[in-house]
Amino acid sequence: MLIIIALAAHEAAHLFAAVLLKIKFDKVKITLFGFNLNANLDNTAFHKKVLLFISGPLCNACLYLVFRSSMNQNFANINLFLACINMIPVVPLDGGNICKTVLELFVDIKSLCRYMIMTNTFFIVCFLSIIYIYKNYIYFLLIVMALKGIIEENRDLMEKYIHQSYRKYKY
């Protein structure tokens, strides 16, 4: 039950940040990986995207600090765990989205997608090693998330390539 409260706080922080930063979104979807704001962030300012992505882990870190010296040590530890896990640079986790947002400033879209796919693949191997060595199957969920990120990166790259090709031949 405590993990559900921590996850809800994390996702509520993202929603609050989106509203506060005036990031327009069509709908909020509940998925296996939490809530998903259906928003096109392509034309959103760099600082707004970073603030949106960091808001969830920052909320969990604050909850950890508030509850770490209280009777709710378990709740504090769950929040610390969520904050740390969400900062792993794997898309669709917040850390992966922050990494992707920063890299957008320096590399072209094709290189960016390839980098994110390689990063996700690297972490899949790491998570598989952790599962094998420690028999801790919670990391299987992270593998699923990383695979989902690889699929999304390939889809995004294909959509942007088609869109650019269409614009080139249209004029």
The per-residue pLDDT for 65 is: 97
Q: For the whole model, what pTM was predicted?
A: 0.87
Residues 66-118 have pLDDT tens digits of: 999 999 999 999 999 999 999 999 998 999 999 999 999 999 888 998 899 99
Tell me how far CA of residue 31 lies from CA of 99, 163, 169, in angstroms: 22, 27, 37
Fill in the amino acid letter for 96.
G
Q: Which two tokens stand for residue 104?
A: 């957008």
Contact (Cβ atoms closer than 8 angstroms) between residue 41 and residue 100: no
What's the confidence (pLDDT) of residue 171? 57
**Which pLDDT band holds residue 32 (cuts at 50, 70, 90)?**
low
CB 35 within 8 A of CB 29: yes
**Tokens found for residue 42:** 């392509």
Q: Specify the range with the lowest mean pLDDT, choosing from 29-38, 61-70, 107-116, 159-168.
A: 29-38
Residues 6+ apart with CB under 8 A from 6: 60, 63, 75, 78, 79, 82
Helix 2-20 vs helix 73-86: angle between axes, to the nearest 10 degrees? 50
Stretch 7-18: mean pLDDT: 92
Select from 88, 85, 87, 91 the least CA-distant residue to 151: 91
pLDDT given for residue 76 in this prediction? 97
- pLDDT above 90: residue 162: no
In tens, the pLDDT along 38-62 reads 777 888 999 999 999 999 999 999 9
- Judged against a pLDDT cut of 60, whether residue 132 lies above it is answered with yes
